[in-house]
Amino acid sequence: MSTLVMGILNVTPDSFSDGGRWDTVDAAIARGLELRDQGASIVDVGGESTRPGAARIEPAEEQERVVPVIRALAAEGVTLSIDTMHASTARAAVEAGAAIVNDVSGGLADPDMAKTAADLACDFIAMHWRAHSAEMDKADRYEDVVAEVGRELEARVDALVGAGVASDRIVLDPGLGFAKVTDSNWPLIARWREWAGDHRVLIGASRKRFLGAAIASGGGDGADPSNREAATTAVTTVCALEGVWAVRVHDAAASRDAISVVSRLTTAGYKAR
């Protein structure tokens, strides 16, 4: 099965790359349809920014932003995930038509999330997480990032399964950029099978700071997130070659095209070494 594209739809005023571009219901609906038409198999709708330093918002405000968008896009046949750390928002979003819950805290931020995910009986994306946005950079402390992320994700799986979530419903995300500023991210991509176990994997590298640092080290201008799209597509290409379940990206068309090229190569006999 080819790697899927999850298109990012931030219905927020303050996300790091595109905050404010789709923060009205009509604009968000139009963007969600555009992402679908550009090749996104899943549109990931989020109403709370998780960029470094972002402030938390209340669930009621989050739901006011995302539920009308999800309801409208679901009516158009778009497959949707809800990007939230609030159990009440996860429930409201699934009731409105979302098929997947994408929790960047892996269920740690809200004690009701694991039981809610079990009740909803939908796919649940558990990301590796150590702290909220205001504190997460300070938590970039690892002796062996691959082993530690693997153990901490395994603990989240155990907790979710213990709450009643089916193991095959759980997707793992290494949390690139979350408590991982620059160099901590690369081994998690290169050695993803070591922490993934038997679970499907989502990689969310799109336009993040560690890509900017790599561009800058090569002499390019990686300071502006919009300059990181080619680097994002490079990560998508590697993920597609490796058989990762999905990539979460801002530019669905670029990743769709990269995955199509990889599909042709693998059909012709190419094998990753």
Is it the case that residue 23 has pLDDT exceeding 80?
A: no
pLDDT of residue 221: 87
Is it the case that residue 182 has pLDDT exceeding 80?
A: yes
pLDDT, mean of residues 261-268: 96
pLDDT of residue 54: 64
pLDDT of residue 272: 73
pLDDT of residue 12: 82
Inter-residue long-range contacts of 94-98, CB under 8 Å, 24+ positions, other chains counted:
94/120, 94/122, 96/67, 96/70, 96/71, 97/70, 97/71, 97/73, 98/45, 98/70, 98/74, 98/122
Residue 273 binned pLDDT confidence (cut-offs 50, 70, 90): low
Nearest by Cα to 189 from 211, 167, 163: 211
pLDDT of residue 1: 77
Is it the case that residue 51 has pLDDT exceeding 80?
A: no
pLDDT of residue 61: 93
User: What does the pLDDT look like over 187-212, one tens digit per residue?
Assistant: 999 999 999 999 999 999 999 999 99
Of 208, 209, 228, 256, the active-site residue reads 208
pLDDT of residue 57: 84
Averaged pLDDT of the chain: 93
pLDDT of residue 75: 98
Of 130, 207, 228, 248, the active-site residue reads 248
Is it the case that residue 53 has pLDDT exceeding 80?
A: no
Amino acid found at 192: W
Tokens of 221: 């201008």
**Where is average pLDDT lowest: 54-58, 108-112, 181-185?**
54-58
Q: Is 208 a catalytic residue?
A: yes
pLDDT, mean of residues 153-179: 98
pLDDT of residue 84: 97
Residue 70 binned pLDDT confidence (cut-offs 50, 70, 90): very high
* Cα 237 → chain centroid: 17
Is it the case that residue 50 has pLDDT exceeding 80?
A: no
pLDDT, mean of residues 64-76: 97
Residue 24 binned pLDDT confidence (cut-offs 50, 70, 90): confident
Q: What angle do CA 66, 72, 75 make, to 5 degrees?
A: 135
